[in-house]
Structure 1
């Protein structure tokens, strides 16, 4: 499967070990951070319904910890995937505000992780309105029923987002695009994981210590990637994520990477249902899991918000993530 994905999608090329032209350097608590933006990690098919479609580059922003002017090598890595209902969103500094609350951007998370000593890659992926193609056809028996994920209960939030984007209600064509969007996003995450593994020396990463994390649609994607596609990662962080597309009740098995799941106290009903289903499947398979509520928030919450763990622990979202990564990836975080 990996060969088919890479053969279809990967765009090869090496990142420079020294800071390349155009790299930015951020200074603050912990390590300084070097950022290289728009690094191509693969290619993906869009406009798939139109005479074969076209390929477009897939890009990531790479945040590296820097000490005494030099980026560190052989560091654990985390790949972050943005949210936006598979219709919008950004790998950069964009974030959402709703009901007086705001989430943290992928740039915020990656800067924090890099200052703590991790290489962080914030990736873009193909969205449903691009009419994406998929690199491989998963076994239908391993997927949730398509009607479940494109029906009214699962698409209420998506209809809200489409209205805000001045798009008409979902129809048969756009529902098919949405379904392919779930799978294409997972394909793109798979390409990013293999790119980081294959280019570990130039990116300064340890190829056997990669975690994946995401928010909302991005969190659904990392759940699909880790427990549906069995990507070779060490840990999973799902910020308001759930089961979607892959029926992980059928694919998860003992030995898969541990997962940390967050939910806002008043999170979307579909996300709460899907997160509980994912946690139940993982626990049934004896995969280690941790979960935490973010009290007082709905679907959107910042990384500095307090979270309450199922073990009655209390810490900010970012601190809980860094503690989890330290325990699962064997890397102690540097405090700001």
Structure 2
């Protein structure tokens, strides 16, 4: 069953939103799974509003959870079809949330975990205005061969993966790096030793620092200004 996308939100600690950080959860979870990260990051990102939407479909493998698209793990093409089908609904939510917070599309950061990383990379790299940053944990890049013709920009990207991931093997990290490099899209990466399918403290620390750098307010140019 598909429903409208919505989920928990956190207002900026400073009271005035200058950026929007959107968490995209993994298969079988929901927005509540990641919104707690926003509480940890508010000190370093005081001007960021956070939202963690619930994916639009119920997950048959986890009836209390949600999915961005169904996975049978039997069809090699299901991820490609899935991200393509789910992207319009996600983009509609992102556009509405940017309008709600009064922010431009370049002030958006996408943070994904697992299936959410697939969505962050696929949708983020194809938005009319590229996001300020894409941060992906324990995920993979779907349809890398299409990036050369479909990518609309080269936003900063950080990918984090555990070297003991039993759900999405670490080879997916290296494949994503190769796919992005083939499209001439720079990417930073961090390999977490001993980590399975999850996010550890170091990954959170690096992710927060990455977003803080990418979302720094732009300085107004003084070039051409008159001087006394």
TM-score, normalization: structure 1?
0.53
Alpha-carbon displacement from aligned partner over 1:14-62 (angstroms, at most 9, x marks no partner):
xxxxxxxxxxxxxxxxxxxxxxxxxxxxxxx83xxxxxxxxx3221222
State which structure, 1 or 2, has the greater radius of gyration over its C-alpha atoms.
1
Report which of the two has the higher share of strand: 1
**Are 2:138 and 1:240 equivalent residues in the alignment?**
yes
**Are 2:22 and 1:106 equivalent residues in the alignment?**
no
Determine helix, strand or coil for the equivalent of 2:212: helix
**Structure 1 residues 230 and 284, CA, compared in 2 at 3 Å: closer, same or farther?**
farther
**Are 2:31 and 1:81 equivalent residues in the alignment?**
no
Is contact 2:163-2:170 (8 Å) kept? Answer: no
**Are 2:137 and 1:194 equivalent residues in the alignment?**
no
Q: 1:124 offset after TM fit, Å?
A: 1.3
Task: Supply the distance in 1 between the matched residues of 2:126 and 2:11 (Cα, whole angstroms).
Answer: 29
Structure 2, unmatched stretches of 5+, are 66-70, 218-228
User: Which of 318, 326, 334 is equivalent to 2:212?
Assistant: 326
| Partner residue, 2:111 | 213
Q: 1:320 offset after TM fit, Å?
A: 0.9
Q: 1:91 offset after TM fit, Å?
A: 0.4
| Partner residue, 1:127 | 57
| Partner residue, 1:63 | 10
Determine helix, strand or coil for the equivalent of 1:57: coil
Q: 1:255 offset after TM fit, Å?
A: 3.8
Q: 1:296 offset after TM fit, Å?
A: 1.1
| Partner residue, 1:185 | 86
| Partner residue, 2:197 | 299
Q: 1:284 offset after TM fit, Å?
A: 3.0
Determine helix, strand or coil for the equivalent of 1:222: helix
User: Which of 281, 285, 289 is equivalent to 2:187?
Assistant: 289
Aligned CA RMSD, in angstroms, stands at: 3.4
Task: Supply the distance in 2 between the matched residues of 1:270 and 1:66 (Cα, whole angstroms).
Answer: 34
Runs of 4+ with >6 A deviation = 174-179
Alpha-carbon displacement from aligned partner over 1:117-138 (angstroms, at most 9, x marks no partner):
12111011223757xxxxxxxx
Q: 1:287 offset after TM fit, Å?
A: 2.2
Structure 1, unmatched stretches of 5+, are 1-44, 47-55, 93-104, 131-160, 305-315, 332-336
**Structure 1 residues 66 and 328, CA, compared in 2 at 3 Å: closer, same or farther?**
closer
Is contact 2:129-2:152 (8 Å) kept? Answer: no
| Partner residue, 1:334 | none
Is contact 1:230-1:256 (8 Å) kept? Answer: no
